[in-house]
Amino acid sequence: MTDDAGTVAGPLRRALDGYLQHVSIERGLSTNTVSAYRRDLGRYVRVLDSRGVARPADVTEKDVTEFLSIIRSGDDGRPRLSAASAARAVVAVRGFHAFLTDEGITPDNPAGDVHPPSQHAKLPKAIGIGQVEAILEACRTDTPAGLRDRALLEVLYGTGARISEAVGLHIDDVDLDHGMVRLFGKGSKERIVPLGSYAARAVDDYLVRGRPVLAQKINPAKATRVPGLFLNKRGGTLSRQSAWTILNVAAERAGLTIDVSPHTLRHSFATHLLEGGADVRVVQELLGHASVTTTQIYTKVSADTLREVYALAHPRAGKR
């Protein structure tokens, strides 16, 4: 392998290879996530090797905490990591040692009490309901591509889907009769979420008047029938890059002067639900978050909104 572990061999290298195989095959983590683990843990194993640590059972809590210090300072000759990147690396190390403990390779987890560096919470970017509606209304629905664009954006906002989940939809994943859609998230985890009447109507219009026209563009001699829901102008499956362009064009037509991405619609979906009174655990399920902690960052947005409304509306909210 050509990762940060370099030429490190022996028990540590074999343990790392086993863990990477575990998260890739048994846990089904995405290719990008496994690559990040390989990079972070490769650096970790190399640091351990430089400290004379040869076996997993020889690793101490001090080794783990000093690794955190090293990646923050760059003392190993590698680039210094930000708090967010260092936190990711610590999570990888904790998972690695938990695996070794579970497998009986080590008696305990030396990383169990090592916590990632604190980070300033970044509030998700969300736009107002009126701005979302302006983007949706900016899609022309008098052409097959326009019908597709409107359906795509309605699905993104109506379900909170990630862009990869939306462009990966197949026709059979959409149940218009019951207003539900099946999404496949990170690690191929499946979830069923409501589609919403506006999104369902847009998808129905696209399936009736838009997609059949786009599907005719594909050369049957060169390709089999494309099962994807959203097609490009050549009849193939719409790409993530094209979906970004569709949103950017719609936002520009709507007159928005701020940057808007597919994730902006996902953030707005969650924020608007919470502001409307939805329970955070329901939003967690809809977003496909493994932990409610990930979802709770959106509650800060809603809390800020509540404080603002209170300050403006309550007669005794002002400073004394």
- Which member of 150, 266, 267, 272 is catalytic? 266
- Which member of 55, 178, 234, 263 is catalytic? 263
What's residue 282's pLDDT? 87
What's residue 1's pLDDT? 38
Does a structural domain hold residue 116?
A: no
Beta bridge partners of 180: 175, 194
Number of domains in the chain: 2
Residues 192 and 303 in one domain: yes
- Which member of 46, 148, 272, 289 is catalytic? 289
77 Rama class: left (phi>0) / alpha (psi -120 to 50) / beta: left
Q: What angle do CA 211, 217, 221 make, to 5 degrees?
A: 125
Residues 191 and 71 in one domain: no
Q: Which of 50, 83, 102 is the last residue of a domain?
A: 102
Q: How far is CA 21 from CA 2, 35, 46, 96, 277, in A?
A: 16, 11, 19, 11, 42
- 58's CB contacts (< 8 A; 6+ apart) are none
Rounded CA separation 320/306 (Å) = 20
Rounded CA separation 39/3 (Å) = 6
Does a structural domain hold residue 54?
A: yes
Residues 179 and 79 in one domain: no
- Which member of 38, 162, 211, 272 is catalytic? 162
Does a structural domain hold residue 319?
A: no
What's residue 320's pLDDT? 42
CATH of the domain at 78: 1.10.150.130
Helices (H), the chain: 11-21, 31-50, 61-73, 83-102, 129-137, 144-159, 163-167, 197-209, 211-215, 240-253, 262-275, 280-287, 292-295, 297-313
Neighbour-count burial of 56, counting CB atoms closer than 10 A to its CB (0-12 exposed, 13-18 middle, 19+ buried) = buried
Q: Which of 46, 67, 102 is the last residue of a domain?
A: 102
- Order of strands, sheet of 180-184, starting from the edge strand that comes earlier in the sequence: 174-175, 180-184, 190-194
pTM of the model: 0.59
Residues 219 and 300 in one domain: yes
Q: What is the DSSP-derived secondary structure letter of residue 230?
A: S
Rounded CA separation 111/67 (Å) = 11
In this structure, the number of other CB atoms found within 10 A of the CB of residue 27 comes to: 12
Annotation marks residue 233 as catalytic: no
Annotation marks residue 266 as catalytic: yes
Residues 186 and 291 in one domain: yes
Residues 138 and 264 in one domain: yes
CATH of the domain at 162: 1.10.443.10
- Which member of 39, 186, 191, 240 is catalytic? 186
- DSSP β-ladder status, 180-184 and 190-194: antiparallel
Does a structural domain hold residue 114?
A: no
- What DSSP line would sit under 286-305, residue for residue? HHT-SSHHHHTHHHHHHHHH
What's residue 157's pLDDT? 95
Rounded CA separation 298/286 (Å) = 13
Residues 303 and 206 in one domain: yes
Rounded CA separation 52/158 (Å) = 54
Q: Running along the chain, 320 residues long, what does each successive block of 10 average in pLDDT?
A: 55 92 84 89 93 92 92 88 86 91 91 76 77 95 96 95 94 94 84 92 96 82 69 91 94 91 91 86 86 71 62 61
Residues 96 and 226 in one domain: no
Does a structural domain hold residue 29?
A: yes
Residues 97 and 236 in one domain: no
Annotation marks residue 298 as catalytic: yes
Q: Which residue range(s) make up the domain with 283? A: 129-311
What's residue 145's pLDDT? 95
Residues 96 and 133 in one domain: no
What's residue 290's pLDDT? 75
Residues 149 and 81 in one domain: no
What's residue 83's pLDDT? 83
| Residue among 264, 269, 266 nearest 248 (CA) | 264
Does a structural domain hold residue 122?
A: no
| Residue with the two structure tokens 């086993």 | 18
Residues 291 and 220 in one domain: yes
Annotation marks residue 46 as catalytic: no
Rounded CA separation 286/161 (Å) = 9
